[in-house]
Amino acid sequence: MSSPVPSLADTSSMPEPGRWAGYVTAVCAFLFAVSSFYWGFGGTFLLDTVGSEAVRLVEEGNVGIYVAVWFAGFVKVAGGVLALALVQPWGRRLFRHWMLLIAGWGAAVALVLYGGVQIGIQLMVLGGILVPPGGMDWRGFYGHLYVWDPWFIVWGLFMGITAFYYTRNARRRRALGTTA
C-alpha cells in the first residue's frame, strides 16, 4: 500500500501558477536558444541587433563567434531544462533538492541582474548621464535595449516565480513529514 502523503518528487500538487511559470520559463529559454543556434548555423537575420562586431566576425568566418553563439545556445537550453526540472517529477529524481534551489534562485537573480544592469546603463546613455564613445553602434544598442536585455529580465522573473513555487511546495511537503 502506498503512502497517502506524496513525496517531494511528486510535483502534481505544485500550485498551478508554479507549473505554468515553469513552462513559460522553459519556453522563454528555448526560444532564446533558437536565435543562438540559428546564428550558430550561419544565419544573420537580426544579428546586427546584437552588434556590428558580431556581424563583422561572422562575415570574416571567425570561429570564435560560432563557438560563442553555440555555447550561449546550450546555456539557454540548460536554463529551460532547469525550469522544467523545478516543476516535473524527474527533476527531483535527477537532482538533489538543494541543487535545484540554488540553480533556480541563482539563475533568476543572475538573469534579472544582468538584464537590469544592461538596461540601466543604456537608460543612462539615453538620459545623457553616460556619454557613449564615438562611432557608437546604435542598431546594436537599441537591439539590446528593446529586444535582448528585456528578454533576460522576463526570463529571470519567470524563473524566480518558478523557484518560489518550487521552494514553497518543498517546504509544505517537509512540513507534512515527507522526506526527499
Q: What is the pLDDT of residues 153-180, one digit of tens each?
A: 999 999 999 999 999 988 887 777 665 4
Of 45, 71, 77, the C-alpha closest to 147 is 45
pLDDT given for residue 180 in this prediction: 47
Q: Look up cell 541543487; give the residue.
A: 99
Q: What is the pLDDT of residues 23-51, one digit of tens each?
A: 999 999 999 999 999 999 999 999 999 99
Does the structure show a pLDDT above 70 at 104? yes
pTM (two decimals): 0.85
Q: At 26, which helix (H) or strand (E)?
A: helix 16-40
Give dist(CA 112, CA 147) in Å, integer. Answer: 14
Task: Please give the residue that has the higher pLDDT: either 105 or 9.
Answer: 105
Q: What is the pLDDT of residues 78-100, one digit of tens each?
A: 999 999 999 998 998 999 999 99
Mean pLDDT value across residues 126-148: 93
Q: Spell out the residues 6+ positions from residue 16 whose beta carbon is closer than 8 angstroms to its own.
A: none
* DSSP alpha helix (H) spans, 43-148: 52-59, 63-87, 89-94, 97-126, 138-143
pLDDT band at 133 (very low <50, low <70, confident <90, very high): confident
Q: Spell out the residues 6+ positions from residue 90 whose beta carbon is closer than 8 angstroms to its own.
A: none
* CB distance 68 to 39 below 8 Å: no
Question: CA–CA distance from 130 to each of 120, 135, 137 (Å)?
Answer: 11, 15, 15
Q: What ranges do the domains of the chain cover?
A: 16-171
Mean pLDDT value across residues 133-140: 91
Give dist(CA 41, CA 62) in Å, integer. Answer: 13
pLDDT given for residue 170 in this prediction: 82
Q: What is the pLDDT of residues 50-75, one digit of tens each?
A: 999 999 999 998 999 999 999 999 99
Give dist(CA 96, CA 57) in Å, integer. Answer: 41
Question: CA–CA distance from 23 to each of 88, 100, 111 (Å)?
Answer: 10, 16, 17
pLDDT given for residue 176 in this prediction: 74
pLDDT given for residue 178 in this prediction: 61
Report the 10 Å Cβ neighbour count for 15.
12
